[in-house]
Amino acid sequence: MADKLELCGLEVACVIGDRPEERRREQTLTVDVSLACDLAAAGASDALCDTVDYAALAASIRTVLCQARCHMIEGAAACVARVCLADPRVTEVRVRVAKSGSVPGLREAAVEIVRGRGDTAP
């Protein structure tokens, strides 16, 4: 399937990091998500009920990341993937999570993961 729905540059303020000083404050993550899903029905009907509601998905991602208080951006990316795959229309998700400002002289640290419906990764 070649159809994709993308959320680009979602900014989420949340607790992220492993160092004690990072656990005491929020930092901003930038999240990019690419969903593999069949968009033919939505293209034909032009109806929100026939696709993934990206506004609702963005809100769910924000909520999960704020509640998760992950130590690692890898864990944050896995949380995002699980949220996306909760929608049965999504067959695969590519998630990129970037964190800036954590290392002097480094613009950002980022991870990218790909998860499919049949994957058993935690």
- pLDDT tens readout for residues 46-68: 999 999 999 999 999 999 999 99
Distance in angstroms (rounded) separating the CA atoms of residues 40 and 21: 48
Please list, in sequence order, all residues whose beta carbon lies within 8 angstroms of the beta carbon of residue 77, skipping any fewer than 6 positions away: 95, 96, 97, 111, 112, 113
Residue-range domains of the chain with CATH? 4-116 (3.30.1130.10)
Check pLDDT > 60 for residue 121. no
When pLDDT is cut at 50, 70 and 90, the band that residue 1 belongs to is low
Q: State pTM to two decimals.
A: 0.92
